[in-house]
Amino acid sequence: MPESNSNGPAARAAPPMTVPRFVDAKKRRQPLCVLTGYDHLWAGILDTAGIDAILVGDSLGMVVQGKPTTISVTLPQMIYHAEMVVRAVRRALVIVDLPFLSFHVSPQQALRNAGRILKRTGASAVKLEGGLNQAETIRTLTAADIPVMAHVGLKPQSVLKLGGYKIQRDAARLMADARAARDAGAFGIVLECIPVEMARAITAELDIPTIGIGAGPHCDGQVLVTQDLLGLTPEPVPSFVKRFADLRGVAQAAIAEYIAEVRARTYPDAAHSHT
C-alpha cells in the first residue's frame, strides 16, 4: 500500500493549495514549486514532499508514451492521468493541460473540454498553450469560473510550425502574449525557454505568478518534468534541466542485482520465503 499522504510532514504543515493562495504567493514573494505528475504513485511522492502544484502536463506523451512530440495526446488520456494524480493528492494544486486541438476550434469547444476535465478528475485548474492568440478562450473559461494558466514562449504544441524546440526571443511578442493572458483573466503563466531578462521583465510587469521552465531565476516559480530532475529520463535532456538525482542509475543497479540473484538462486532466500 502507498504511504498515507495525510500523514506526510508537508501535508501536516501546510493548508491545501488553492488558486487564490497560489496567486497570493507572488505578493508574499514566496517562490512557487511546480512539477509534472502523471500517475498516483509519483503524485503521492510529490505531494508529501511539499510541492505547491502538480501539472498533469501533456508532456506525458513523450515521457510516458514515448512519442516524439505532445501532438498526439488526447483529452481522454489527459483525463485518465489526471484522475490518478488527483486521487493521491492532499495538498498540492492540480493543474491539467488541455491537449493539442482540444481548445483551438472555438472558445465553446475549450469550455466543454476544460469543464469535462474539472468534472471528471477533480483537478482545480487547466493550462493551455497560448497568450494573445488564445485571449478570447481564456476569457470564456474564466467567465465560467474555470481557473486558467496560460503558457507562452516556447509552446511545444507548436513544434511542427516552429521546426523544433527553440528559445523564443521576440520580446514584443512575448510581452504582448503575457499581457493578453493576464488581461483575459489567467491566474498564472508558464514562461518556457525565453531569455532571462525577458522573463524578469514579464515577471516584474504582471501581478500574477510567472512559472519558468528554461526562463532563468527571476520568475515567481519554477516547473520541471519530474522524471528529468530525478534523472529517470535518458539523455539528452534540455540544457536548463538540473539532474537532482540519478534514479535511472539506481533503478538499473537494483534490477541488475535482482537478475544476478535470481540467476544465482540466492533470491528468494529463507527470509523472503514462506515455511
Q: Among residues 11 and 230, whose Cβ is nearest to ligand KIV?
A: 230
CA distance 125 to 92: 12
Count of CA atoms in the C-beta half-sphere (13 A) of 112: 10
Instruction: Please say whether the beta carbons of 126 and 97 come within 8 A.
Output: yes
Residue 112 main-chain phi, psi, to 5 deg: -60, -45
Least Å from the CB of residue 150 to ligand KIV: 11
Q: Which residues bind ligand KIV (CB under 6 A)?
A: 36, 55, 57-59, 97, 151, 190, 192, 213, 223, 225
Q: Among residues 11 and 223, whose Cβ is nearest to ligand KIV?
A: 223
Q: Among residues 11 and 155, whose Cβ is nearest to ligand KIV?
A: 155
CA distance 122 to 152: 25
Least Å from the CB of residue 58 to ligand KIV: 5
Residue 257: count of CB within 10 angstroms of its CB: 11
Active site residue ranges: 192
Q: Among residues 155 and 182, whose Cβ is nearest to ligand KIV?
A: 155
CA distance 135 to 176: 11
Q: Helix or strand or coil: residue 54?
A: strand
Least Å from the CB of residue 60 to ligand KIV: 7
Q: Among residues 57 and 107, whose Cβ is nearest to ligand KIV?
A: 57
Least Å from the CB of residue 91 to ligand KIV: 20
DSSP string for residues in 234-263 = PSP--TT---S--HHHHHHHHHHHHHHHHH
List the one residue out of 107, 198, 120, 182 whose CA is nearest residue 149: 182
Least Å from the CB of residue 265 to ligand KIV: 44
